[in-house]
Amino acid sequence: MMHLLRAADYPRMPWKNGAGTTLEITRDAGEGLDGFGWRLSIADVGESGGFSAFTGYQRIITVLEGAGMRLTVDGVESRELRALDPFAFSGDSAVDCRLLDGAIRDFNLIYSPSRYRARLHWLRVDGAQRLFGSASTWLLFSAGDGLRVSLEGRDCGTLGRYDCLHVEREAGLAELCLAADGAVDCCLIELAPAS
């Protein structure tokens, strides 16, 4: 199964704490803000404040737009988080966000570590690049325009800014080919069942 998800079609959802909104890219199951094993989204953060709790989940967050932020996680302050610098923390944690200089937009992977193992990598594609992986779920998110993708020789289309390719396949080694005429940043996420 392969779906090319377009940014213009992502539904907007309220945060659990009601302090902002999220564009939901995709998820494995469930409805609302519960029941999923993994979920990919983009959040608009307009002011400093607390994050929603996602008990039992792991989170990896990356700033996409804006000057950045600093998080305080269970009383411990993070480094300054700038564009395309991922940061992982537990969804159980008490998290407070301080914006560095105005509003930001961020990219979020939330997953249940009891159900999934996850790998997340940010890549810069300039020309052609080949990658190999064996996960059953692949999510490729483009932070720019014109990212051409093929999987095992099959054309998957061209991703625009904030588009996402969602692939579900039988586990086993596969080749992913990425190409762009100029530098395009993208995030590759691989998810596999934990058991």
- Tell whether the model's pLDDT for residue 168 goes beyond 80: yes
Q: What's the pLDDT tens digit per position in 137-151?
A: 999 999 999 999 999
Q: What's the pLDDT tens digit per position in 77-135?
A: 999 999 999 999 999 999 999 999 999 999 999 999 999 999 999 999 999 999 999 99
pLDDT at 172: 87
- Tell whether the model's pLDDT for residue 185 goes beyond 90: yes
- Tell whether the model's pLDDT for residue 34 goes beyond 80: no
- Tell whether the model's pLDDT for residue 18 goes beyond 70: no
This prediction's pTM: 0.93
Q: Could you give the C-alpha distances from 115 to 1, 43, 193, in angstroms and in order?
A: 20, 24, 6
Q: Tell me the domains of the chain and their CATH numbers.
A: 9-111 (2.60.120.10), 116-193 (2.60.120.10)
Give 162's strand partners: none
Residue 92 region, left (φ>0) first, then alpha (ψ -120 to 50), else beta? alpha
> SS3 letters for the chain?
CEEEECHHHCCEEECCCCCCEEEEEEECCCECCECCCEEEEEEEECCCEECCCCCCCEEEEEEEECCCEEEEECCEECCCECECCCEEEECCCCEEEEECCCCEEEEEEEECCCCEEEEEEEEEEEEEEEEEECCCEEEEEECCCCEEEEECCEEEEEECCCCEEEEECCCCCEEEEEEEEEEEEEEEEEEEECC
- Cα–Cα distance between 96 and 113 in angstroms, integer? 22
pLDDT at 35: 78
As a whole-number percent, the residues of the chain with pLDDT over 70 amount to 96
Report the chain's mean pLDDT, rounded to a whole number: 93
pLDDT at 31: 65
- Tell whether the model's pLDDT for residue 50 goes beyond 80: yes
